[in-house]
Chain A
Amino acid sequence: MSDHDHDHDHARTVKPMVEEVTDFEVLEIALRELCIEKGLFTAEQHRVMTEFGEQIGPTPAARLVARAWLDPEFRELALREPMEASKKVGVDWLNPTGFGTPSDFYAFKILEDTPTLHHVIVCALCSCYPRPILGNSPEWYRTPNYRRRIVRWPRSVLAEFGLELPEDVEIRVQDSNQKHRFMVMPMRPAGTEGWTEDQLAAIITRDSLIGVALPKPGVTTNVSNKTVPAVRPIVE
């Protein structure tokens, strides 16, 4: 143990936290308690669903794509039997955490990009998303703005994310639903020759698996896009 013969402020070695109780924190607890008391769900159901939400993320999906880039046989498996391939990266779609799925998953498909075809996923109806393998959806994915506009004007909306595709690349927008979930397998970018699976997985971002970005050497973070929630829906 150190002798503390130094002048740093020990209080500052702890990360700061919000040191007051907020209305929203109180509201979440109050609503949840009332719903449990009224029998809408149980505290146990809430606990397992919360734990599911806390342990999911995009890492297994990135790992799956990186492995597919390196191993042609695994790539073939991923495209032919995506749920089997998911198991190889630790995701069992039919039983992701040992207590069942939070929604009615029946099918998962991986959409492979080619030099002339680019995929992007959406849920036009609500916000269905491949959560077991990709984690919780980003806020913008839930907004009516993204959901309506990506279907109508995919090229323009992708450009808002900074992804400007040549005119000769077809863009296919894949709509998800409660029974079918999708994920994009982007193409391996140039400049990654000889890379390991770990190196490749680091550049396969969540956004590239949704299809609003392309993997790029040196880029390991998601895009900050300009989309904002629509205040007024478009009236035809």
Chain B
Amino acid sequence: MNDNRTDADFAVLEEITQRNQTWPIMAAKYGVENPLPPWKTSLDGFCDALDRSCATPEQLDFSFKARRDEEDELSATHYADLPFPENQLVSLAHSLLARGVIDEVELRRRLDDVRARLES
């Protein structure tokens, strides 16, 4: 594994982690009983689609095995305070940022766009 990928810090992900709107907290706040957040199945489909159809250039080393290894390491280090599946999601974001598949500026912009859309 390339240590640089898991060692990197991404402020945008740190901020999300710090705000800690994790499912156990949000579910308790609103009295929701579902054990997993509603976006979990979409995340599963996301990972399956990546594993099956990933068109990332080979030199990025973004195979199923590489993704899962990084998820395990990141979930035990950078994102150890997050529950599952939040740690899976943020680790995936970290792996995509670390490879330069997406960059932090465009991710921030898209986060703002998506939030504005959902809150409109």
Contact = CB atoms under 8 A, between A and B. Distances in A.
Given A40-B50, A126-B65, A26 B76 contact: no
A35 interface: yes
B16 A24 contact: yes
B41 A144 contact: no
Interface centre among B72, B89, B107, B118, by most chain A C-beta atoms within 10 angstroms, is: B72
B8 interface: no
A53 interface: yes
Contact of B32 (A17, A27, A42): A17
Contacts, number: 156
Given A30-B110, A33-B110, A231-B76, A40 B55 contact: yes
Interface residues of B, number: 57
A33 B49 contact: no
Interface centre among B30, B45, B53, B118, by most chain A C-beta atoms within 10 angstroms, is: B45
Interface in B33-85: 33, 37-39, 41-46, 48-56, 64-65, 68-69, 72, 75-76, 80, 84-85
A1 interface: no
A155 interface: no
Interface in A28-51: 28-35, 38-42, 45-51
**A interface bracket (residues with beta carbon within 8 Å of B):** 35 or more
A166 interface: no
Interface of B: 16, 19, 21-23, 26-27, 29-33, 37-39, 41-46, 48-56, 64-65, 68-69, 72, 75-76, 80, 84-86, 89-90, 92-93, 96, 101-102, 106-107, 110-111, 113-115, 118-119
Given A29-B42, A31-B107, 18 more contacts: A18-B32, A19-B30, A23-B19, A26-B115, A27-B16, A31-B92, A32-B42, A32-B46, A38-B102, A40-B101, A49-B52, A50-B45, A53-B41, A54-B41, A103-B64, A127-B68, A139-B85, A144-B76
